[in-house]
């Protein structure tokens, strides 16, 4: 089963609203209009954005991290 959330964040490439998808092992931030996306393993989020002393997930910083990766892809030239 996949969890899918429409976000208020705008796509850095086309301005469309972004969607967050959660899979068993991955989290994906993508735009369904221009197909810009970034996918990372949940393990990375757990390693970087969980305070295990307080058992708290800093979801805001995790989403900021995903968005910065997506923004980097939108502005990269190949």
pLDDT at 78: 52
77 pLDDT above the threshold of 70: no
Structure confidence at residue 12 (pLDDT): 96
Q: DSSP states of 9-78 as a string? A: EEPTTT-PEEEEEE-SSEEEEE-TTT--EEEEEHHHHHHHHEETTTTEE-HHHHHHHHHHHHHHHHH---
Q: Which is higher by pLDDT, 26 or 75?
A: 26
* Cα–Cα nearest to 29, from 75, 77, 78, 65: 65
Q: Are 13 and 34 in contact (CB under 8 A)?
A: yes
Q: Return the pLDDT at 57.
A: 92
Strand partners, 39: 28
**Tell me, what's the pLDDT at 1?**
58
Domain boundaries, the chain: 3-75
CATH 1.10.15 fits 3-75, yes or no: no
Residue 66 has pLDDT above 90, yes or no: yes
Give per-residue pLDDT as tens, 28-54: 999 999 999 999 999 999 999 999 999
């Amino acid at each position: 089963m996949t969890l899918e959330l429409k976000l208020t964040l705008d796509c850095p490439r086309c301005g469309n609203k972004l969607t967050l998808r959660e899979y068993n092992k991955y989290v994906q931030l993508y735009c369904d209009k221009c197909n810009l996306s970034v996918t990372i393993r949940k393990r990375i989020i757990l390693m970087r954005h969980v305070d295990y002393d307080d058992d708290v997930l800093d979801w805001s910083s995790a989403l900021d991290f995903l968005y910065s990766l997506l923004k980097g892809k939108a502005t990269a030239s190949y």
